[in-house]
Amino acid sequence: MPAHSDDVRRLELVLASRNDGKVRELARLLEGLPVVVRSLGEVGITDDLREDGETFAANALQKVDQVVARTGRACLADDSGLEVSALGGAPGVFSARFAGEPRDDGRNNRKLLAALASVVEPRRARFRCTVAFADPEGPLGARREVFEGACEGRILTAPRGSSGFGYDPLFVPDGHDETFAELGPEPKDRVSHRGRAMRAFRDWLAGYLGVASLGR
């Protein structure tokens, strides 16, 4: 049974990312919950957050901890990336800056294709995502939680599709013929690494806020 409305807690949540595509995706995956989403700019953070950890979880936790320390507000961050089997798991945590700074999806995709030029099918890969949540003023004290998701698939020899961001035009998830960039937002959410991590987070957050999970 859903909790009584008097027991429901409304949460203001900062999304710790400057990637507009990722922010839109995270906000969409939170729809239906009593959450007010704020961008970094809305809470006065205009510089880049440090993310120099060796794992996705370390980077995501770094980001939420920095936002909480600077604003005193609850924060959600994700760190995600592409792991290509033929490249020993690269680019991994360096996915966003694979081709160097400034970060550029097109250059990253071109570098990936060049690195795989001599690799024949199947060019196996997986997207991985870690979502970190921190609330400095939880009902039972400060709280930090981590949720994970993964999606197996393969890398094409040329990009297809215009939706999404990052390596989406090159990645075909298992069980599909379309790339993430061809699937569109809602079909992508159902199978993606971020969608899976966020569904686990939504289920947990619903209980944390005192509402029934609406699922996605």
**Strand order across the 35-38 sheet:** 35-38, 11-15, 74-84, 124-135, 143-155, 171-173
- pTM score of the predicted model: 0.86
Domain 5-209 has CATH 3.40.50.1100: no
Residue 79 known to be catalytic = yes
Region for 163 from its dihedrals, namely left if φ exceeds 0, alpha if ψ lies in -120 to 50, beta otherwise: beta
The pLDDT of residue 3 is 40
Q: Which two tokens stand for residue 77?
A: 């961050």
56 closest CA partner among 147, 134, 143: 147
The answer to whether the CB of 164 falls within 8 A of the CB of 180 is yes
Cα gap 144→64, rounded to integer Å: 9
The pLDDT of residue 4 is 44
The pLDDT of residue 8 is 67
Instruction: Tell me which of 78, 79, 135, 168 is the catalytic residue.
Output: 79
Residue whose structure tokens are 């290509």: 84
The pLDDT of residue 6 is 54
**Per-residue exposure over 136-159, b if at least 16 CB sit within 10 Å of its own CB, e if not:** beeeeeeeebbbbbebebbbbeeb
- pLDDT mean by block of 10 residues, the chain; 216 residues: 54 89 84 90 92 95 96 95 97 96 95 96 95 90 94 97 94 97 92 95 92 56
The pLDDT of residue 212 is 63
* Domain extents in the chain: 5-209
